[in-house]
Structure formats: structure tokens, C-alpha cells
Structure 1
């Protein structure tokens, strides 16, 4: 028995008008869930023609645009899924609020290496010192790096655990 081989490239191409090509590209992109290619195919084709790119060069540009856009949407989706109470980033964090936190330590925390190592992070301090801002900023950075993040207050977590204990099932 011969192993199955994937189908090869089409051996013949057909001539289609520009309008038919645009319609076919739009339909195929909808079917394949490629929204960026659907919107950027024509402008990138015009730019590729001006720059005299090869067909492979044009294809590389279109696929790179799709990949970049998907990654940007993925980052946004992960931050939304974390359910932070407000948007905060580490760039906005006032480092003078916590003088005992060296900038190098903050930069190290922002990389998320402590998450990969399974190390806990405990933020202790008086009210108004920026603990929540720092927590949300680190969570946002982690989500943008591709990690799944969930923000939950202590009270909400206790309630969720109590309900899970009553139902004998943790969500």
C-alpha cells in the first residue's frame, strides 16, 4: 500500500478578470477566516506591482500581514478575557510610589520569567501605593506575551470557592 501524498499545486491557472479575482479572494477569505487578507489583498497587490515583487514576495507580504493582525487581535482578546477592572500598563506606573522597588526588578517582573519558574508574587503595602496598578500592569504584560490571565478580587475568589464547594465542582 502506498502512503497517501498530499495534493500538489494546480497544474493550470485560468484567466479571470480583476473583478472576478477580487470576488473570489473575498469569498475564499471569508471561508478560510482570513479577514486581514480580505481587506489588504488589493492594496498590497498594488504596492507589490509598484515595487515589482514576485508572486511569492506578494504572498509573503499578505500572509505576514494576516499573521501580524492575528497576533495583535490575540493580545487584545487575552487582555479582555483577564477581566481587569480598569486598563493599566507598566509604562503608566509611577515608580516613585514604591521606592523599594528597583527599576531592574520591575523590568525582570515584566518579562514573566517568574511565572514560567512557578514563583509566587506577593504585593504588600499600604493603601494607595500602587499595588493594584502594578498587579494589573503585570497581568496585562503577561496577557500580551501570550499567557492566559484572570483577574479576580479576594472577595470574589472566596465566593467562587464557596459556591464550588457547595456544588462539589470547581469551574
Structure 2
């Protein structure tokens, strides 16, 4: 799914202005990388509340281990599992319903229902690699900007999924 498609789905959901009353989502991701969450609400791709979801849509859980995208977390591989079926998580948002984490998913042919218990799982090996890469890029950025470039801010480090781009663009 492209970023444009993801943004379109979020804006479609926002336009519906649903008056759904949901409890705040408890975030467990600082201490856990996997857990089982209860489905509290479902929205179809058009942003309407539904009782079952099969395909692209949104899931609200009572709690989640998934972090909303920031500081490189959007590259973490997140999956929801129902029995032997893997459900792709493309994005998360906690702004539409304040502090309620909505998971943008494709159920990949699996039907999800309200009150289903689903396993939430982060790809830990990939997360560790990305976390190390992210930290190293901060160190390199600091060195380039504060030592080599005398404190001048630059676009010296770009964080990508599988590589880092360094640019030492100070004029000597």
C-alpha cells in the first residue's frame, strides 16, 4: 500500500465524523513486543463502523504493543494474527479519536469481528536492527553537524529502511 493510499484512507475515516465512543487504548509497547488484544471497534475502508471486517479497514483494540509512527517506528514490521492468518498492519493513528489507537489493516481474507482476541506481534529482529541503525545515524548526524560543520544544521543524515545517506555539505 502506498503512502498516498494510506493518507486517502485516513482522510476518508476522518470525514465520516463518527460519534463512536471508545475507551483510551492502553499502550504496552515499551515493555512488550507481543500480546493479545480485544477488538473494540471496526471501521471499513469508507470509514463506517462495522461489526465484521474482511479486507482493508481499521481496528481499535483495548490495548496495543504497536507504536504510532515516529522516530523510525513506521519501518517496524507489525502483524496481527488470528489463528493461522496474518493480518498486515500498514499504519497507526491515535489522533482521530484522541488516544485511541486505530490500526489500518488488510485482513488478507480473514474476517475480524468485534470482541475477537487477536495476537499483536512486532518483528523483533527487524526492530533491533532498525533501532541500532537509527541510533548510529543520530551519532553520525551529531558528528557531522557539530564537529565537521561547526554546528551548522544540514540534511546530513537521512533515515531509510535499509541504508543511511550521509552528506557532508559544508563549504570549506
* Range class of TM-score, shorter chain: under 0.3
Q: Which has the higher strand share?
A: 2
Q: Which has the higher helix share?
A: 1
Q: Please tell me whether Structure 1 or Structure 2 has the larger radius of gyration of its CA atoms.
A: 1
TM-score after normalising by structure 1: 0.24
